[in-house]
Structure formats: structure tokens, C-alpha cells
Amino acid sequence: MSLQQQIIAELRVKPSIDADEEIARRVGFLKDYVTKAGAAGLLIAISGGIDSAVTTGLCKRATDELSRESGKEYITLGVFQPYGEQEDIAHSYAVAEAFGLTHKVETNIREAVDEIVLETEYAFKSLGMSRHISRGGKGNVKARTRMVVQYALAFDLNLLVVGTDHASEALTGFFTKWGDGAVDVTPLSSLNKRQIRQIAKTLGVPAAILDKAPTAGLWEGQTDEGELGVSYEDNSDYLEGKEIDPKAREILEKHYLRTQHKRQPIPGI
């Protein structure tokens, strides 16, 4: 078995999907998980990108169906989490509007992140290092701070925190370990980026979001494809078992092997 075949099997990606079938399957998965957990609903952080938009659509369908079937109110809480001014925050609100979210809140993380960064730099200084936190380090602080706020809300409201993790991210390890990667449930986990786009069109994700360059929003001008050095087209082709350019294959497999620790449970002895 080739490394490509091993990865596809591990991440459980299908070579092709039926969007309606996958929507129904993933909505059912969310409903079962909420019911078994005794939760009051789901919490999703809406970034304004396609992954969180699709996840929002699935969550809202799941909680709406649970409410109708049980006669009890289940909610999807949409959380907007800018760092200071977010240039595309309107896209986050457009997603909430498109899926009829009645429960939504904005929690700005700037002050909390800046305080954590400052304390980190004081720690560097006490170690005899006159330096600032790295750009990537601050990006990770943003991701983890967002999760702290999400779980603070979810705990008191008895909600499950839903992640937007998917196979194309898992392949490259392009997420903050136990930051944006630490959630209660991940309904997109076996989909690649192309398949998420298929589902987005079927769900009715706003067109402006479908056309955006994917970004984690960790710093100005940052894009996923620019950081990773490979396109999501090649990434999706690889996960569907297709042949791709050898250079792109090499990049993807290096990312995968280098980031194995991110996909594993915390080890013990």
C-alpha cells in the first residue's frame, strides 16, 4: 500500500460524494451526538470562510430538526471572534443570516491575546532573551484564545463546540494542535476541500464566501495555499486517489509526515 493510499484510508476520504447524501448523514451524526451528550445544542465559531459556513449550515439543520422532533428547543449559537477589526466580518454575519441563526454573539479577542503576548514576552525577558513572540506563535495564541472563549460560553449554556477540521487540513497538519483542533465534534473530518465546496453550494452558502481564498486569518495577507506551498486542487486530487504533480505530492507528504503528532491522541506511558 502506498503512502497516499494509507493517508486516504486513515482520513476516510471518499473519491466522490453525493452532496445531499452527505448533508443528511452529517446532520444525523450531529443530532445523535447532541442527544447522547444531553446537550442543549451546538456552538460554531463563524470566521467568514467556507469551512465554518458549511459547518454552520449543518449545525442549524441538526438543531432545527431536533427541536421539531422533540418539542424542546435546541439551539445553534454562532460566535464571531475578530481580533480588533476584521476586514471580512460582514461575511460572518452573512452566513448567520443565510442560515437563519437567531442566537449569535461577537466576542473580540484582541485585548486577551495582546495581554497573553505581553506576558510571554516578559517571560522571554526573564530568561535573558530580548525578543518578541514570533508571528506564528501569536497566531497560535489567537486560535487558542478563541477556543477558551468558545468553551466558556459552551460550558454555561450546555452546548457542544463544533470544529471545522477537515481532511485537507489534516493531511497538511494546518491547524493549531489542541487549539482550533480541540473541539467536541467534527462533522467535516472526512471531507476534502473540493467536497466541502460541493456541499456549500447545495446548502446555499453565500456566493461571496465561495469565491474567497482560504485563510486561517492569523495575520494580514495570510492564505492557506501561500503558507503550504500547494493548491487545494492538488490537495483534493491527492485525497481522491488521483495522480498529481510529483512536486506537489512531495510537499503534501512531507507536511503529513512532519505533523503526525497533531493527529494523534496525547501519548502516555
What 3-state DSSP class applies to 52?
helix
Active site includes 169? Answer: yes
- Active-site choice (169, 180, 184, 224): 169
Contact 173, 52 (CB under 8 A): no
- Active-site choice (22, 51, 165, 224): 51
Q: Which helix (H) or strand (E) holds 66?
A: helix 50-70
Query: Where do we find the cell 441538526?
Result: 62
Rounded CA-CA distance 117/115 in Å is 5
Active site includes 51? Answer: yes
Rounded CA-CA distance 193/171 in Å is 11
Nearest of 155, 146, 133, 149 to residue 179 by alpha carbon: 146
Contact 111, 85 (CB under 8 A): no
Contact 81, 149 (CB under 8 A): yes
Residues serving a catalytic function are: 51, 169
